[in-house]
């Protein structure tokens, strides 16, 4: 009789040890998917990302830049939509205020700028467009965003902006690094 009680005790101990535990494998899979999702979606930014060769000046800005034609002025060259157009030496050597090469390249991108401006006007609230604006689509001003390194002299930027204006771009935005507002 004494043997059976020992045997019963051993069986009771073995049953307690085999209590089911929590399986963490599926929980870790869920957390891995969540981390991957967060990492990929936090990189989608609405602001323009300047290339590494351009250091933008700091400023307090009110609104985010819109997707338009992008003109970049680096230490070495002028790029329109990431295509090299002119070197800085050629721009420095130019005596005229409107650089013809930049003007022609900007005129080639005019269709994109107008289509973006028309799309933004179509997305505007109904109260923003008034009844007297019948020719609004034809009068939408094309816009260009200029990303220039902070070391580029202003007289070069003035030539670039004059070239854009003569190509028909009436809205020119200079990209800056946003700082906290000083309120």
Average pLDDT value for residue range 171-177:
78
- Predicted TM-score (pTM) of the model is 0.56
> Distance (Å, rounded) from C-alpha 78 to C-alpha 72?
6
The residue count for the chain:
183
> Distance (Å, rounded) from C-alpha 23 to C-alpha 167?
66
Give the residue with greater pLDDT, 40 vs 32. 32
Structure-token pair, residue 182: 């000083």
Q: How does the average pLDDT of the chain come out, rounded?
A: 75
Average pLDDT value for residue range 7-35:
75
User: Would you state the pLDDT for residue 130?
Assistant: 44
User: Would you state the pLDDT for residue 45?
Assistant: 53
Give tens-digit pLDDT for 113-166.
777 767 766 665 544 444 444 444 456 678 888 888 888 888 888 999 999 999
């Amino acid at each position: 009789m004494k043997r059976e009680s020992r045997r019963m005790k051993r069986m009771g101990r073995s049953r307690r040890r085999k209590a089911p535990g929590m399986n963490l494998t599926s929980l870790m899979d869920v957390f891995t998917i969540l981390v991957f999702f967060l990492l990929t979606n936090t990189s989608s930014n609405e602001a323009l990302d300047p290339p590494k060769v351009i250091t933008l000046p700091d400023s307090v800005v009110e609104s985010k830049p819109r997707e338009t034609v992008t003109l970049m002025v680096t230490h070495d060259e002028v790029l329109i939509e990431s295509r090299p157009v002119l070197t800085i030496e050629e721009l420095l050597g130019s005596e005229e205020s409107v650089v013809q090469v930049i003007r022609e390249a900007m005129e080639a991108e005019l269709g994109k700028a107008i289509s973006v401006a028309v799309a933004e006007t179509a997305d505007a609230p109904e109260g923003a467009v008034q009844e007297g604006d019948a020719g609004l689509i034809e009068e939408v001003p094309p816009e260009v965003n200029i990303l220039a390194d902070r070391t580029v002299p202003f007289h070069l930027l003035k030539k670039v902006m004059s070239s854009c204006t003569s190509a028909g771009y009436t809205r020119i935005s200079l990209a800056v690094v946003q700082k906290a507002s000083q309120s």
